[in-house]
Chains A and B, each alone.
Chain A
C-alpha cells in the first residue's frame, strides 16, 4: 500500500465497513460465535466515533436493540436467583434449560459491558434493563482475590473482567455488586517492577491490562491510591511504549490498538500530551485500508472491527478532526456518555 496517499481518513469506506459487519459476517469468523455482541459494539461504537451513528437506520437501530435485549438473562423464575444475570454474547446457548444445568445460560461480563455501550450509543433509555439483576450478576463473579470471572460457568478471572465489572457498575450507577477496596487491592498488586500493570499479580506488564486497571481506578475514583512513584513510573512505562505508533509491551512490535489502550491510559493520567501525536497518527494511518475501509494491527495485514474501532478511537484521543471525542474510561463517545449522564439524573429523581 502506498503510505503517501494514506494520510487521510477514508471516512466513507469505514462507515461501509462497519455497516457490513452489523449485517453479516463470513464463516471464517465462526470462532467469534459466542462473542457477537462485541463485534456489534466495535461496529456501533465505530460508527459513533465517525460521527455517523445516523448511518444506522431507525429500522436497523431497533433490530440491534431488540436483538440485544433477547440476550439479557433474567432472574430465575422459580427461585428469583440473579447470579446468572447479564448479557450473553450470542444466542448459541439461548435455549430453555432444566434447573440442573441452567447455569449454562448465563451472562458474560464483557458482553454485558459492551451490550450496555451499544444501547447507550443507540440512545436507548435502558428501561428494559433489569438493573438490580445485572448488578447481582456482577457481584456473583468477584473472587476473593478481588478480580472477576467472566461468567459463572467455568471461566478464567483477570484484569479484563475487573474493568468490565467496573464499567457495568458505573453505567448502572450502582456499586453494590463491586467491592471497590478488594478490586483496588488487586490492581495495585498487579503493578510490576517496571510500573506497568499486568493481567494478574507478577505477570508481565501489558498495555491492554494497564488500561483496564487504570480505567477501573478512575471509574471507582481510586487513582489517589497510587503513590507518586507509581504514577511517575506508570507515565514513564506508558510513554516508553511509543515507537512511532505504540507497542503493548517492551520490545514487542507496534500495533494499532495500543494507540487506544496506551493512549487512553495516558489520558486518564492526564499525560497523553507528553507523546508524539504526529508519529502516532502516521502509524495508525499506515494500517488503514483505503479501499474497503478498516484498520489492521500492522500495515498491509488483515483489517478487523476491533482494530478499526480502536484505531479510530486512538486517533480521536489525539484530536483527529472529523471524529467525535472519546470518554476514555468507558471507551464510548462523549456523546453517548452525555446520554448516560441524562439517564443517571433520571434514575436519581
Chain B
C-alpha cells in the first residue's frame, strides 16, 4: 500500500511539505461543544485538514490523488474520500488498471469494508471488464469463505457479465472443504437458479448431490435447507419425491435422529396433509409424534417451537378424526 503508512518515522506532515505550501489547511469545525469526540492522531488531523482544503477548492490534481490515498489509509470507510477519488480518476484520466491493483491491496487489508467493494464495482462497471473479479473474490473467500461482501460482489459480477461457466466447480470445492458452508450452498442455488435452470434432470442431479452430502454429515442445516429449497421446483412437492422420502425413512430406520431429519419429515407430513395425500408414514399422527420427540429429546432448545407446531398437527388429527366419523356415518346411513 502507500509507502507512508508502515513507517511513521519517515512521515512528513502535509503542513511541512513545501510542495503543499500554497494550500491552507481547513480544520474540522465540530462546533463549540462536540460530543463523541475521537482523539485522532496528529497525522489523521493533518491529512484530513488538507483533504477538506482541496475539497473546498475543488482541486483535481495528481497530488490530491495521493492525498486521498493517505486519507483512505487512515480511514478506509470514508465514502466521501472514495467518491472524490473517483471524480479525480475521471478528471485526470488515470489508468484504471493501476487503480484496480490499488483497490485489490486495500481489499486485502479491509475485506469487510463496504466502501472499498463499492469502489471496486464502479471501476469494473467503468472498464466493463470483469476478468479479475472471480479471482479477487476467490482470494477473499479463501481467507474467509463466508465473507458477505465478497459473495455480494461475486454474485454481481457473475450476473452482470454472465460468468457462470466454472462457478459450480468453485462452489463444489468450497462445499467439499466445508460441507457446512452455508454461503457456498446459497451460491449453488444461485448458479442453478440463474444458469442451469430447474429442469427435471437438474432437479434429480441436485437431489442426488444433496443426499450424498447429508449422508456425509446428517446434522447440517445448510444441506437440509438446500434440499427443501430445490424441492420448490419439483412439481411433486415435498412429499411426492419418492427418492427423498425413502432416503429419509431409511435414515430414520437406521436410528438417525438429527433434528433436521425429523423436521424435514414433519414438513413432508404437512405437505401430505395439505394435499390430502397422507399415507402410513406421512400423516398428522407422525407429525405429532416427531414434534414431541424434538421438543422433549432431540431439539430441546426449541421445545416451545416444536410444541407450537405440535398443536397445529393435533388440530389436523382431530379434523381427520371427525372426517373419518362423517364417512362412517354415511356408511351407516346407507
A residues within 8 Å of B by Cβ?
Answer: 21-27, 29-37, 39-40, 43, 60, 63-64, 66-67, 70, 90-98, 100-101, 104, 150-151, 153-156, 192-194, 199-200, 202-206, 235-236, 239-240, 242-244, 249-252, 273-276, 279
Contacts and interface: CB of A to CB of B under 8 A. Distances in A.
Interface stretch (B38-46, B133-141, B164-172, B285-293): B38-46
Interface centre among A90, A91, A235, A250 (most CB of B within 10 A): A250
Contacts, number: 193
B249 interface: no
B69 to A, nearest CB: 16
Contacts of B86: 154
Given A21-B36, A66-B33, A203-B186, A96 B302 contact: no
A334 B225 CA distance: 36
A156 B80 contact: no
B182 A279 contact: no
Contact of A154 (B31, B79, B159, B225): B79
Nearest to B58: A101
Given A101-B55, A104-B80, A251-B181, A25 B186 contact: no
Contacts of A250: 180, 182, 221-222, 225
A5 to B, nearest CB: 24
A29 B40 CA distance: 8
B79 A151 contact: yes
B78 A239 contact: no
A242 B306 CA distance: 14
A19 to B, nearest CB: 11
B contact face: mostly helix, strand, loop, or mixed: helix
Identify the 7 closest CB pairs spanning chains A and B, nearest first. A193-B229, A154-B83, A194-B225, A204-B186, A251-B180, A274-B305, A63-B33
Interface centre among B152, B225, B302 (most CB of A within 10 A): B225
A25 B35 contact: no
Interface centre among A32, A40, A95 (most CB of B within 10 A): A95
B35 A92 contact: no
A299 to B, nearest CB: 18
Contacts of A275: 302, 304-305
Interface of B: 26, 28-41, 44, 48, 52, 55-56, 58, 74-80, 82-84, 86-87, 114-115, 117-118, 121-122, 146, 148, 151-152, 155, 159, 180-183, 186, 189-190, 193-194, 220-222, 225-226, 228-230, 232, 263, 301-305, 308
A274 B38 contact: no
A155 B35 CA distance: 26
A203 B148 contact: yes
Contacts of A24: 36-39
B75 A154 contact: no
A199 B37 CA distance: 31
B217 to A, nearest CB: 10
Contacts of B221: 240, 250-251
Contacts of A67: 30-31, 33-35
A205 B151 CA distance: 12
Contact of A43 (B36, B41, B80, B186): B36
Interface centre among A67, A93, A94, A100 (most CB of B within 10 A): A93
Contacts of A205: 186
A25 B36 contact: yes
B37 A25 contact: yes
Given A153-B80, A155-B79, A36 B58 contact: no
Contacts of B38: 24-27, 29-30, 32-33, 36
A100 B38 CA distance: 30
A94 to B, nearest CB: 6
Contacts of A26: 38-39
Contacts of B263: 236
A91 B30 contact: yes
A204 B182 contact: yes
Contacts of B230: 193
Contacts of A35: 77
B146 A249 contact: yes
10 contacts: A21-B36, A27-B40, A30-B44, A97-B56, A192-B186, A194-B226, A202-B193, A203-B151, A204-B182, A236-B263
Contacts of B33: 63, 66-67
A24 B189 CA distance: 47
B168 to A, nearest CB: 15
Given A203-B152, A250-B221, A274-B308, A34 B80 contact: yes
Contacts of B32: 66
Contacts of A98: 56, 58
A250 B294 CA distance: 19
Contact of A193 (B82, B159, B228): B228
